[in-house]
Structure 1
C-alpha cells in the first residue's frame, strides 16, 4: 500500500536526492561550507568527500565511499580537479546526474593534465610551481588572484598558505569510463577563471553534451557566488526523476 505524505511531512522527510560534493586540487572540503549550509537548509542530504588528492584512484575510492553512504539517488558535484574524479566515479549506479563547476571533464584515455595542456591562446594558465617529490603546488604569492580574485583576500591568503599538495598520480592518471557519456550532465563555466581556462571548460562541456551556464566568476565560484551555484545544483537535482 502506498501512502502520500502531507506537504509538511514531505518537507520533514527532506528532498528525494542526495548531493555529494567533491572538491578539487590544492584545497579541502571546508570550501564547500557556504553550499553545505544552503543546501542542507533547503532539505537536501549533503555528503562531503575529503579527497587525499594523491592519486586519482584514491580520490575515486573516497568519492565512492560517500556515494555508498547516501540514502537517496545521488547528484554528484565536482569542482576543478573534482570534475575528473566525478567523471570516473560517476558511473556508480546510485549516481543519477553530474554537475561540473569550473572543472575538468576528461574523456576516456585523457587525464586532467592532458586537458590542461591543450592550447588556450590568450588565456592565463595556473601559476604552478615545478613538481617537487611528485607533487604540485600553486605559487603562494599568486594563489589569491589566480584561484579566487573575487573572494575576500583574508580568506584566499589563508587558502594559499594552507594548500594541499596535488599528486602527479592524480594529475596524470587517465580516465577509463567517463560517466558523462551515460548520465545527465550540467556544467557551470567561470569566465574569469585563471586556473582552468574558460575555453577548455567550454570544450569539455560541449563534448559532454552538458547543459551549460556561464557565470562571471573566478575559479572559486562556490565561494564567490554561492547562491548562484546552489540554484544551479538545485535545478539539476529537481530534474532527477
Structure 2
C-alpha cells in the first residue's frame, strides 16, 4: 500500500513539474532567429550601434554591424547582402533612417527572417526615400545641407545636436557632427526594387521627438505596411544610441 502511494505521488509530481517547465518555456519564448544585422543610416557609421550590440550579444545573439559606404542604394545594398550571404540561417535585419531604405532593398534575400525599422524609411517598390521625406513639412531643427560639388550631402554641424541627437550630450553630438559620414545625395531619389515587408514580420520604432524625420511620416509608412509599432517618448533621431535597451527589446521581439 505504501509503495503504491509513493508511486502515485511520484506520478503527480512528474505531471506537475512537467507542466511547470512547459509554462516556463512558453513564458521564456526563446528566439527562433539568432542572427542580427544592424545597418546605420546617413551621416553616421556603425559605431552608434554599440549599446544595442552589447545588449544583444549578452543575450546570445550573433550580431553583425554593416558598414555601408553611403555612395548609392546599389552599393549599400551590396554591402548588406555580402553579410547576409555569409550567415548560417536567417537574420533580423535592422535599419536606422536611410538604412530603412537599404534593408527594404535587401529584404528579398533568403536569409532575412524579419525586419526592424528604427525611425527608418520604408518605401515600396518604385518609391524612393524622397517620396516619403518630402511628403510632410520638415522641422527647422533639421540640418541636411544641399549637396556639395561632388554630390555629397552633409548634416549642418551647427544643427546636429538639436536636429539629430537632442537627447544625447552636447559633447557627444558635437563629436558625431564632426565625425559624420556624408551620403551621395542621389541615393535619396533612387527607387527600391524590392519590398518584402509585405510578406515578412515587420517592426518599427517611432521616436516622438525626432526632428530629422517628421514622426507623421513614420506613422504613415508603418500604418500602410501593417508594421508593429513601438513609440519611444521624447527620443530623438539618434534613438538607437540614446535608448539602446528599448531598441534591443524590439529586435528581440522580432527574433521570436
Q: Partners in 1 of 2:48 and 2:94 — Cα distance?
A: 13
Post-superposition offset of 1:226: 0.7
User: What 5-or-longer segments of structure 1 have no aligned partner?
Assistant: 1-13
Contact (CA 8 Å) 1:125, 1:196: kept in 2 or not?
A: no
Q: Deviations over 1:180-229 (max 9, x none)?
A: 11211100111100111000000111111100111111011111111111
Q: Partners in 1 of 2:255 and 2:173 — Cα distance?
A: 30
SS in 1 for 2:158: coil
Asked if 1:237 is matched to 2:250, the reply is no
Equivalent of 1:35 in 52, 69, 72: 52
Cα distance change of structure 1 residues 152 and 187 upon mapping to structure 2, 3 Å threshold: same
What residue in structure 1 maps to residue 4 of structure 2? none
SS in 2 for 1:230: helix
Asked if 1:96 is matched to 2:113, the reply is yes
RMSD of the TM alignment (CA)?
1.5
Cα distance change of structure 1 residues 43 and 181 upon mapping to structure 2, 3 Å threshold: same
Q: Deviations over 1:86-110 (max 9, x none)?
A: 0110110111110000000011111
Post-superposition offset of 1:126: 2.6
User: What 5-or-longer segments of structure 2 have no aligned partner?
Assistant: 1-30
Cα distance change of structure 1 residues 141 and 125 upon mapping to structure 2, 3 Å threshold: closer
Q: Partners in 2 of 1:80 and 1:109 — Cα distance?
A: 18
What residue in structure 1 maps to residue 196 of structure 2? 179
Contact (CA 8 Å) 1:105, 1:204: kept in 2 or not?
A: yes
Cα distance change of structure 1 residues 16 and 212 upon mapping to structure 2, 3 Å threshold: closer
Contact (CA 8 Å) 1:15, 1:45: kept in 2 or not?
A: no
What residue in structure 2 maps to residue 58 of structure 1? 75
Contact (CA 8 Å) 1:135, 1:168: kept in 2 or not?
A: yes
Higher share in helix: 2
What residue in structure 2 maps to residue 196 of structure 1? 213
